């Protein structure tokens, strides 16, 4: 079994899931979009994106959520809920991608990815738009986390990891997480989990390009 990854947000999330679940797996740093790499990677993922899970030598699985589901089933874990909490978990995954995570992504793209990869100048209008969406979504998330440690109650699930996809990149995005005390506490709680805080430990993978000053 092999997980192709980079240090970017979605592959980081998949590596963190594999680490959390103690999956016996080979971690392979990959650059599907680098010159000369697309021929190798297109059969594995036509989108040329990461993460990619090769799990049986014939077929490859892409999309982080599908990979997290597969890894959790493989581990016999309820991290991806398979009980009566499953619909609620899927609700939060779906909402995250349309709301909280999407807002984080907009801001992170402008303040993190664009300068890191020299894609172009930060668009302040998009940052404002992203921050507006962030505050709207954060208010809902704040209420949800005000009286429980994790999105589904007392036990962490993939919904927490998914919701937090961009928080490890907040040095670049500078989202005002601290204005939301319950979200801040939840993020601190996540950071006490080794697999979340440091998924790339001992893995051979170059650092992301630095942010210019």
Interface residues toward ligand GSH, by CB under 6 A:
6, 8-11, 31, 33, 49-51, 63-64
Give the nearest distance from C-beta 131 to ligand GSH in angstroms: 20
Give the nearest distance from C-beta 49 to ligand GSH in angstroms: 4
d(CA 188, CA 91): 23
Q: How many CB atoms lie within 10 A of CB 125?
A: 8
**Cβ proximity to ligand GSH, 81 vs 108, nearer residue:** 108
Give the nearest distance from C-beta 186 to ligand GSH in angstroms: 21
**Cβ proximity to ligand GSH, 113 vs 187, nearer residue:** 113
Q: Distance between the two ends of the chain, CA-based, in angstroms?
A: 40
Give the nearest distance from C-beta 7 to ligand GSH in angstroms: 7
Coil, strand or helix at 20: helix
Give the nearest distance from C-beta 13 to ligand GSH in angstroms: 8
**Cβ proximity to ligand GSH, 9 vs 130, nearer residue:** 9
CA-to-CA dists, residue 210 to 38, 51, 129, 198, angstroms: 25, 21, 25, 18
Give the nearest distance from C-beta 44 to ligand GSH in angstroms: 12
What tokens does 199 get?
């998924």
**DSSP state for residue 43 in the 8-state scheme:** T
DSSP string, 101-169: HHHHHHHHIIIIIHHHHT-----HHHHHHHHHHHHHHHHHHHHHHSS-SBTTBSS--HHHHHHTTTGGG
**Cβ proximity to ligand GSH, 117 vs 197, nearer residue:** 117
User: Is 68 in contact with 80 (CB distance < 8 Å)?
Assistant: yes
**Cβ proximity to ligand GSH, 10 vs 157, nearer residue:** 10
**Cβ proximity to ligand GSH, 53 vs 180, nearer residue:** 53
């Amino acid at each position: 079994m092999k997980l192709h990854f980079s240090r970017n947000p979605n592959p980081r999330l998949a590596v963190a899931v594999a680490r959390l679940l103690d999956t016996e797996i080979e971690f392979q740093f990959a650059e599907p979009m680098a010159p000369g790499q697309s021929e190798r990677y297109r059969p594995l993922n036509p989108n040329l994106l990461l993460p990619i899970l090769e799990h049986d030598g014939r077929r490859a699985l892409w999309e982080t959520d599908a990979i997290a589901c597969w890894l959790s089933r493989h581990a016999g874990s309820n991290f991806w809920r398979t009980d009566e909490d499953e619909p609620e978990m899927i609700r939060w995954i779906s909402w995250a991608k349309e709301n909280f995570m999407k807002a984080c992504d907009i801001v992170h793209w402008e303040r993190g990815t664009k300068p890191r990869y020299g894609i172009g100048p930060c668009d302040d209008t998009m940052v404002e738009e992203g921050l507006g969406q962030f505050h709207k979504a954060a208010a809902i998330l704040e209420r949800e986390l005000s009286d429980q440690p994790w999105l589904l109650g007392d036990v962490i699930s993939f919904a927490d990891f998914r919701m937090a996809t961009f928080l490890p990149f907040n040095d670049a995005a500078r989202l005002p997480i601290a204005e939301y005390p319950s979200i801040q506490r939840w993020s601190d709680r996540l950071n006490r989990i080794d697999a979340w805080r440091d998924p790339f430990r001992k893995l051979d993978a170059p650092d992301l390009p630095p942010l210019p000053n």
